[in-house]
A = this chain, B = another copy of it.
Amino acid sequence: MECEVSESGKNGLSLFFEPQSVAVIGSLREGYFGGYVVIKTLLNAEFGGKIFPVNPSYQEVLGLKVYPSIKEIPEKIDLALIMINRRSVPDVMRECARKGIKAVIVVADGFAERDEEGAKLQNEIVEIAREAGIRIIGPNTAGIVNSANGFIPDPYEPGYKKVKPGAVAICAQTGMINPQAFPYGDLHYGVSKICDYGNKCDVDECDLLEYLESDPATKVITMYLESIQDGQRFLKISRRVAKKKPVLILKSGRTKEGAKVSASHTGSLAVDDQIFSAACKQAGIIRLETFREFFELPKIFSLQPLPKGNQLGMITFTGGVGVLAIDEAAEYGLSVARLSPETTKKLNAIFPGLGKTVVDIGPPMAVNNYMAIYADILKTVLSDDRIDCLFNIIWTSPFKEFVEEYLKFYRELQGSHQKTIATWIYGPSIPLINEMSSRMEDLGFPVFSDLEMGIKALGIAYQYSNRKKGEE
């Protein structure tokens, strides 16, 4: 096994995610956006570091002393957040340099993504930063999140201010992933770090990959990319990181039309899509296809063990859906497992005819009180050594007691086996399905919003596991 010393300690990104002291430079007026919101959010999230608002027109905000300029702050500053007019950014960067600040998030927009003047300003701040040894995230970014320490400097008012801690790191070239936009409050798998790298004038996807590679809170890395700064470096680093943690990437600009618009709004050139696809394959990156996958697929890695092989067990309540699932499974190299003779026998004893490759609980469901045998069916299938993973298709009635029973059965599964389980819930009440999904995920069992998504989750988990084995 390859063993390289991680460079993440050296690249200084820990100042971004674990700052002890933060200067917030920008408007402190109450509103939907700006420094006031950042400070309020940090206080709400119980961020433990020191916060230094900077604005010449204020004395105090939200109980904190406001400093007229960075140099007046009497303490050492780990990170500065800049939310001011683009033309003033270079001067503030120089102040940061003089203060010895080594990490700056430039939230301000209007740089390379807007026009020539913006591109020039962006070059200017990059130069200042290089000379002073400052790292920049942005410009044109909604910032970052560290769920572990309450460092959620969200500049937008709307949004959930608490982000559930978990094992998924989410990075993107868009604010769509930040708390003002995405329903973290409704997610029931947690996230470790969030980063919108915006225009990537300095810190880019490679720096983040290296940082997350050795971030103990992160088990799986998800990225949305429109461009790649340095193809060679990306290939080298992502390959190394993908050996340790699954790296899932959604890349836009697949088509000529998309690439053109992408270039215009981030000011960066898109990479040829076929080259990117080949690179992903080589590096062992899991390439995502839709925006929904971006948010759903990582949870299979964060909540479940990797499957040891490609043998898929399946419980369904209707043959039709079983067939759709088998079709989909075949695309990922998953094979529907033949259950062992003992399992078959046990299942047939529970209900005549149940002991088939695909366990169809439709017939017992037409019988009153089939929930009494459901737990037995589930445990019997899961205890069969011939299966590596299980796709469980649950039908739930509109009656709440069904939900409680299913949850009880799942609670009993915790820690009782080594199989990868993906669940899909179907039934006549969407609100109840949503509630049940959330509560199952709180128990550590990922529930997918689509049949196909659930199978894909198992499929990529198997493929990742298989590749890892080949490399060992």
A44 → B minimal CB distance (Å) = 14
State whether the Cβ of A426 lies closer than 8 Å to any Cβ in chain B. Answer: yes
Contact A291 B176, beta carbon cutoff 8 Å: no
Chain B residue with the shortest CB-CB distance to A172: B320
Contact B398 A158, beta carbon cutoff 8 Å: yes
The residue in A109, A114, A174, A184 that gathers the most chain B C-beta atoms within 10 A of its C-beta is: A174
Within 8 A of B (CB), among A416-472: 426-431, 433-434, 449-452
Q: Which of A12-20, A251-259, A404-412 contacts B (4 or more CB under 8 A)?
A: A251-259
Other-chain residue from B175, B256, B320, B326 in contact with A224 (beta carbon distance below 8 A): B320
State whether the Cβ of A77 lies closer than 8 Å to any Cβ in chain B. Answer: no
Chain B residue with the shortest CB-CB distance to A173: B320
Other-chain residue from B226, B252, B261, B360 in contact with A357 (beta carbon distance below 8 A): B261
Chain B residue with the shortest CB-CB distance to A353: B114
Interface string of A58-83 (1 = CB under 8 A from B): 00000000000000000000000000
Chain B residue with the shortest CB-CB distance to A370: B32
Number of copies: 2
Contact B318 A175, beta carbon cutoff 8 Å: yes
Chain B residue with the shortest CB-CB distance to A157: B397
Q: How far is the CA of A449 from the CA of B258 in the complex (A)?
A: 21
Chain B residue with the shortest CB-CB distance to A253: B323
Contacts A183-B427, A318-B174, A326-B257 given: A290-B451 contact, CB under 8 Å?
yes
Contact A330 B176, beta carbon cutoff 8 Å: no
Contact B324 A258, beta carbon cutoff 8 Å: yes
Contact B265 A428, beta carbon cutoff 8 Å: no
Interface string of A96-122 (1 = CB under 8 A from B): 000000000000010001100000000
Contacts of A320 in B (CB 8 A): 172-174, 176, 224, 226, 252, 265-266
State whether the Cβ of A278 lies closer than 8 Å to any Cβ in chain B. Answer: no
Other-chain residue from B360, B363, B398, B451 in contact with A291 (beta carbon distance below 8 A): B451
Contact B159 A398, beta carbon cutoff 8 Å: yes
Interface string of A330-341 (1 = CB under 8 A from B): 110001100000
Interface string of A281-320 (1 = CB under 8 A from B): 0000000001110000000000000000000000000111
